[in-house]
Structure 1
Amino acid sequence: MAASPLPRIPHFVIFPFMAQGHTIPLIYLARLLRRRSAAITIFTTAANSPPIRATLRGVDGVSVVELPFPENIDGVPPGVENVDKLPSLSSFFPFVKSTKLMQNSFEQALETLDPPVSCIVSDVFLDWTLRSARRFGVPRLCFYVTGQFSFTMYQIFLRERPHAAVDSLDEPFPVPGFPHLTLTRNDSEPPFNDTEPSAGPFMAMVFEHMESVRMSQGVVVNSFYEMEKRYVDHWNENIGPKAYCLGPLCLAAAAAPPPLPEKPGYIRFLDEKLELGEPVLYVAFGSQGELSKEQFEEIAKGLEQSEVSFLWVLRTAAAAANSGLDLEEFDSVEFEERVRGRGVVVKEWVDQVRVLRHGGVGGFLSHAGWNSFMESICGGVPVIAMPFVADQHLNARFVVEEAGAGLRVWPRGGSVRGLVMAEEVERKVRELMMGGEEGAEVRRKVAEYRDAAWHAMEEGGSSMLTLDLLIHEMGTIEIAKT
């Protein structure tokens, strides 16, 4: 009697978009899939490979394949292979478009994989990978860097255009399917908030992305079902393809941060404040936000006037330079001297996950990037949302008004966009950090979400059960080769 064939090992190909915020969650996903004994191959470029390999150090069974990044692309400086290093956001469109030139080398590499690829997980900006998946007859899962709420709103804007009935960017409009919810056009970016989006290459790219989502076999969501249940259910029942909540993916990192050979100064500062019982406000606005000199100065003035201890990470030097801001000029000796003893300014990379899980941190003044919000929730740290670009305004709506997990600073003049004054920064920082009634309620909600998030990522939790379901379903889907 012939022996039964051994079950085929699932082999997931993961292809992140070349930006730190897009890459890190998918590296965490690779860790999760390895825990289920799947073979993993991560595709990237030579310049993006070193930090990926460093993050995966100690993880067996994950291969990293480097593809050549296209050269001589108009609008993309030579040698730049990551969005975080682009000179300005105006280079974003040609950068995304240029990735299409990687398709041939990607498919040639897929031919060599052993065991053969069984599923491709790729970023929404890499829509062309759907065609590659079909040529190999395997399912493709799409990854979008924001949460389910924002992704659902973008789809509703494109499909049903509820904002077309209002002329003003700040006039509220109801959202179909969600009678409790009103938004404004300023809560999203063009072309999503255009009342009559014009034809053009950028709009064509957006529709290509959305069509590739629709034709994929699922969407990987860096969130957990208990927090976004309403929007996951709406997506699965009315939009699709199926959303798989597998997060918070940051909890798939090592169980405990590796010991540091030497504590950096910012950790020593947090340790000292923890011993004194003085909670610290962590302040960071991501790597791509373009803040004006005037806005930097208002934030600094508000922090100084708040009399709250803070750790401010200025890792946006490139974006600041694009705005005409000299960080050396802004971060003057006078400012540091005035806040000495309670305020620390850092101009280098910090381990944000480590900071947000430090017991000395009591709040997070943030740009409302989704990864940062997930990391904050997992650390039990409430957010003060100060959005600037991209999905950040929708994320802020969700964090503050839907989840109740944060406060929001508002610009002057009644719009959701514009200059936030120092007095507003001071007021919200004091409310959160000094025991205000609103701040206390936010802390209670964040504690609930923290517990739910950690439970979701435990064996038997919602995200781990969804991971098992995803692996099973991707192994049963038959895709005709094209």
Structure 2
Amino acid sequence: MSSGSDIVHVAFVPSAGFGHLGPCLRLAALFLRHQHCHVTLITPKPTVSLAESHLISRFCSSFPSQVSQIDFQLLPFDPSTENSSDPFWLQFERIRRSVHLLIPILSSLSPPLNALIHDISLISPMIPVSDSLAVPSYIYFVATARMFSFFSHLSVLDAANKQAQGHPASFIGDAVEIPGIRLPIPRSSIPPLLLQPGSLFEKIFMEDSPKLTKLDGIFINTFDEVEAEAMAALNSGKVVPGLPPAHAVGPFMPCEFEKAPEEENSDGSLMKWLDGQPEGSVVYICFGNRTATTREQVKEMAEGLLQSGYRFLWVVKLKMVDKEDDEDLEQVLEPEVMKKIKEKGLVVKTWVNQGEILGHSSVGGFVNHGGWNSIVESIWNGVPVLSWGQNGDQKITSEVAAESGAGIWPAEWGWGGEVVVKAEEIAKAVKEMMNNESLKLKVLQLKDAARNAAAVGGSCDIKIKTIIEELRKKKKKTVH
């Protein structure tokens, strides 16, 4: 590590899941673009998925002089003590129960830390850590500014409905109206687990929402051309009085460290297949790193893609955790369907570099799970989306995508797994996405805005640079 008073030393504490880790590392990379910034990455061990482990290794090896890594061994944890079977949410809780052990580790770092940036899921347990270290504390938020406005406004709604005893299922009516935001959020779009009293999701959200005012700032992977209204509402004090500054520092750019070696993935043959397809002719289908698709829905999706008439690249995931996904598609689909699929498309079950796929000229549309990381990547590459929320915040995110003009959202499909969407409906929606010329034009406009925001001298770059300078000034005041 370089020495001297100009060094700004920031520790990043990610949580569980590729969808939380990826944005954390991309945000860290934005800090590392600026001279005299050093990052210490705290990596909770063991990770849940192989994808997480591989990405951490590639990130650290990409910044050998600017990044230090500390493996953080988590405390033993009995999952039966929590009302959840989701391995990623259980890992959130395990990290939450362990982070107090970071105080002596972080206090011994040299040079001393100037700031802590941690995952949204770690607010309550990390505040005592930052207080003990006497350093500013920031969170990074992996979803939309609209979702963050809802999350932060929960504490206001709860305070106004004491008889509900902290359970959103009791105090959320048909819709949630958030001050400063025009469209209310319907109850049907609220994360289902938040409406299940006693769920681990509800517990974490309701414990952390009131603590947001104790933070020094919030980093959100968004930009004004997509979410100007929500960002203005957050920073006006309308959503929550006393909320710290919310910084739109997106879109988080794809980074070189995210490219896996050839031996780790199938991208070599995959990209060659894409090279052989006409421009804008391929539908890319992927429901993220945490979403397992039911066998019944896989069958309907296969038929729907074939009925659409378009070529397709389909990433199939039948289990939530990649280590456990050992079932072949041939075990799900009939032989004649598999034959047609191989004639029209390419199906993979391994890790893929989504950024490279979306950036390929042959890809003309993206069917996804409403994950904000995926939608931002699609905007970055000017590819329209068909967004089908599977769980969590993904209906709210799908609405943002549709309202901004980035894609379409068939709201009548409901949550993934709630009902089996038939092949005919899938084919119709895919055709709409691929044939809508006004949609294509709007996404290209958003692409230009995204690239401008992320460029050197763009809004994202300026905000990160300003924050680094503020931390440097605080450091000098402390030293003197």
TM-score of the two chains, using structure 2 as the length reference? 0.84
Q: Is the Cα–Cα contact under 8 Å of residues 250 and 374 in structure 1 kept in the other structure?
A: no
Number of the residue aligned with 1:366: 368
3-state SS of 1:186 partner: helix
**Distance apart, 1:472 and its partner CA:** 2.6
Cα distance, 1:413–1:112 mapped onto 2, change above 3 Å: closer
Q: Is the 8 A contact 1:280 1:360 kept in 2?
A: yes
Q: What is the deviation of 1:201?
A: 6.5
When structure 1 is superposed on structure 2, of 145-154 and 98-107 the one drifting more is: 98-107
What is the aligned partner in structure 1 of residue 246 from structure 2? 243
Decide whether aligned partners of structure 1 residues 26 and 278 sit closer, same or farther in structure 2, where only a CA change above 3 A counts: closer
**Structure 1: stretches of 5+ with no match in the other structure:** 78-87
Pick from 56, 59, 67 the counterpart of residue 62 of structure 1. 67
What residue in structure 1 maps to residue 18 of structure 2? 20
Shift of 1:324: 13
Structure 2: how far apart are the matches of 1:200 and 1:341?
A: 45
1:118 paired with 2:114, answer: yes
Aligned AA for 1:45? P
Q: What is the CA-CA distance between 1:457 and the residue it aligns to?
A: 1.1
Asked whether the 8 Å contact 2:180–2:229 carries over to 1, the reply is no
Contact 1:225 1:245 in 2 (8 A): yes
Specify the alignment match of 1:82 in structure 2: none
Alignment deviations for residues 242-277 of structure 1 (CA, whole Å, 9 cap, x no partner): 1111111134x1399699699622211111003xx4
Query: Is the contact made by 2:306 and 2:344 (CA closer than 8 Å) also made in structure 1?
Result: no
Return the structure number with greater helix share: 2
Matched residues in 2 for 1:469 and 1:106: separation? Answer: 28
1:140 aligns with 2:140: no
- Cα distance between partner residues in 1 of 2:98 and 2:322: 31
One-letter amino acid of the counterpart of residue 141, structure 2: Y
Distance in 1 between the 2:169 and 2:206 partners?
A: 23
Which amino acid is the alignment partner of residue 388 of structure 1?
Answer: Q
1:96 Cα deviation from its structure 2 partner:
2.2
TM alignment of 1:412-427, pairs within 5 A:
418-427=419-428
SS at match of 1:345: strand
Deviates most, 91-100 or 9-18: 91-100
1:461 counterpart residue number: 458
**Which residue is 1:442 aligned to?**
439
Aligned residues: 454
Q: Equivalents in 2 of 1:174, 1:100: separation in Å?
A: 29
Q: What is the distance in 2 between the residues matched to 1:398 and 1:43?
A: 32
Name whichever of 343-352 and 314-323 sits farther off. 314-323
Q: What does 1:14-413 align with in structure 2 at a 5 Å threshold?
A: 14-37=12-35, 38-48=37-47, 49-59=53-63, 60-75=65-80, 89-127=85-123, 128-160=125-157, 173=175, 175-177=177-179, 180-190=182-192, 192=194, 194=195, 198=197, 203-238=202-237, 239=240, 240-251=243-254, 253-254=255-256, 264-274=268-278, 277=279, 279-318=281-320, 327-400=329-402, 402-411=403-412
**How far did 1:451 drift?**
0.6
Shift of 1:54: 1.1
TM-score, L = length of structure 1: 0.84
Q: Is the 8 A contact 1:336 1:345 kept in 2?
A: no
Asked if 2 retains the 8 angstrom alpha-carbon contact of 1:281 and 1:310, the reply is: yes
Residues 421 and 17 of structure 1, relative CA distance in 2, 3 Å threshold: same
In the TM superposition, what is the alpha-carbon distance from 1:322 to its structure 2 partner?
Answer: 9.9
Q: Determine if contact 1:11/1:116 at 8 Å carries over to the other structure.
A: yes
Compared with structure 1, are the counterparts of its residues 111 and 312 closer, same or farther at alpha carbon in structure 2 (3 Å cutoff)? Answer: same
For residues 76 and 264 of structure 1, what CA distance do their matches in structure 2 show?
44
Maintained 8 Å contact 1:12/1:117: yes
Root mean square deviation, CA, Å: 3.6
Residue 139 and residue 257 in structure 1: after superposition, are their counterparts in 2 closer, same or farther (change >3 A)?
same
Q: Secondary structure at the match of 2:289?
A: coil
* 1:159-209 deviation digits (Å, cap 9, x = unpaired): 237999x999x99646243574143211012464x4xx8578654432222
